[in-house]
A and B are shown apart, each in its own frame.
Chain A
Amino acid sequence: MLKKELIVSALIAIAFLIAKFLLPKPIQFSRTVSVIIIILLALLFFFIFILTVKGKYIGRRVVFLLVGIALLLPFFMQFTLPLQISPEVRGAYDGLASLKGGSKVLASFDYDPASAPELQPMAEAFFKYCFDNDIKVIVMGLWPQGAQQANLAVEAAMEETPRYRDEIQYGEDWVNLGFQAGNEFVIVRMGESFKAMFPRDIVKNLPYDSIPVLKNVRNFSNIDYSINFSAGKPGTVEWVQVAVDRYNLNMAAGNTAVQAPMAYPYLKAKQLTGLMGGMSGGAEFEKITGKFGKATTYLLSQSFAHMVVIVLILIGNFAFFRERMRDK
């Protein structure tokens, strides 16, 4: 038993090592190859369909394998998908686009690395847009790792567009106030004074009053617009309940797809100007701002995965109906 396990592990390890050291990098499929792969995948699903209809349900592990393949292969393909901008994302963008140069935007990063695949692309596009349009960004986080995600996003933006390194001055164009523990109570106290919650920034450890971008920024009344990247609690719900309801902050939100349905009632009640939900929300935002990044790349994998899930549901149900017809 243990022996078998060892052999399997060894084989997997060797496969990865070959991939690491022997395969040419990077791998890219040409269009023809991509189309062939898609056809093969379709055939595979057809085969599963036949099996299921015959009453032979495929095991969990096969389903897992299929999902893995569907998520992995699109990374090597080169298709671009047409994308339409939803009104929710347009709302978020319009709020940002209506700002004049020099306006101050508060960005709260309320997520951790686990949710980064969904939210990081939005954050990067957001920074790029603000940097290009002279919009000042004040970053903070209600999650311990949130503020660091903001630094990573800025770093990524600068890596991609090196001119930012000269144009964008820390402290003048953006500032990172860091994380403060206390969930929604941080927002409550920020309603009185930002400085009380964030006496110093975290990148250069400067005192609040010495940071140019924070001059005249005392509380929410000095903020022109705000955006909240949220993966749970505390997040959009808390921001809306405190900052929007009590202090009339203008706010848009970028949510993980799980969070997004809960934010819709707020969107409908106009407590949020806009909402970017999950990776496709991020891709739309990248498109409308013209700052393309990872969300657009990831979207093909995402679409494939959705198709796999939908096809699996359809197969399962088709077989289910066949059985029921037969039983009658």
Chain B
Amino acid sequence: MGFWEQFGIWLAALFTIGIISFLYKDNVLYKACEAIFVGVSAGYWFVVYYWDMLYKKFYQQVTDPVNPEWYPWLGVILGVLMLTRLSNKIGWLSRWPLAFVVGATAGLYMMVYFVSNAIVQIQGTIVPLAEGTAGDIIANILVAAGTFCGLIYFFFSKEHRGAFGGAAKIGIWFLMITFGASFGYTVMSRMSLMIGRIDFLFGRWLELIP
């Protein structure tokens, strides 16, 4: 193993311990790790934005020898307008690119979410209930009823009272089960991450793990 690889492992181990030490309390090592993390990650994304976005998406596309694109120029114009924020006098110009971004985001994602989150999910809910085994039928009914009641819970302009309130109540039960299921799965994920770090510390660095 070369010096740089060995050194890298020691450094990584130090950072790993530094971050974990926050669990005990805020301390000098954590503060140092945090500062390095903020600096390095800000630098990392700065570089990535430069090469992946400006270089690849702009420079390479407009200088393409075969078919140069013209549209990335608009991005650059808006980007430069964004930088007017640095000046107090013409800073208000930066509202133009913001207005553009906000408008496009609103228009684009309005349709994307309306289709993939509402229309498609409703289509998924509309299924024949009486199909398959008894277990399947119960499951079908529960899915349809759960979706229905869950939606009732989100009604804002009607008081949750009477039968309506009852349905909303059942709706929140379904939401809670959903949260519980997500939680259970997430516990698994999070534990796996720590297992990965332990494998690094005690396996790769200390070489104690068989």
Contact = CB atoms under 8 A, between A and B. Distances in A.
A and B touch in the complex (CB under 8 A): yes
Interface in B159-210: 178, 181-182, 185-189, 191-196, 198-199, 202-203, 205-210
Interface in B41-60: 48, 52-53, 56-57
Given A26-B208, A75-B202, A181-B53, A302 B124 contact: no
A203 interface: no
Interface string A212-241: 000000000000000000000000000001
A75 B205 CA distance: 15
B63 interface: no
Which of A23, A280, A298 has most chain B Cβ within 10 Å? A298
The size bracket of the interface on A is 35 or more
B116 interface: yes
Interface residues of B, number: 39
B160 to A, nearest CB: 26
B192 A117 contact: yes
B195 A20 contact: no
Nearest to A298: B195
A181 B210 contact: no
B124 A278 contact: no
B206 A20 contact: yes
A64 B124 CA distance: 42
If over half of B's interface residues share one DSSP class (helix, strand or loop), that class is named, otherwise mixed; here it is helix
B189 A256 contact: yes
Interface of B: 13, 17, 23-24, 27-29, 48, 52-53, 56-57, 116, 121, 124, 178, 181-182, 185-189, 191-196, 198-199, 202-203, 205-210
19 contacts: A9-B27, A9-B29, A23-B208, A25-B208, A26-B208, A28-B210, A61-B24, A64-B23, A72-B198, A75-B199, A75-B202, A181-B52, A258-B182, A261-B181, A280-B188, A294-B199, A305-B187, A305-B194, A309-B187
In order of increasing CB-CB distance, the 6 nearest A-B pairs are A117-B196, A257-B189, A26-B210, A257-B188, A305-B191, A258-B189
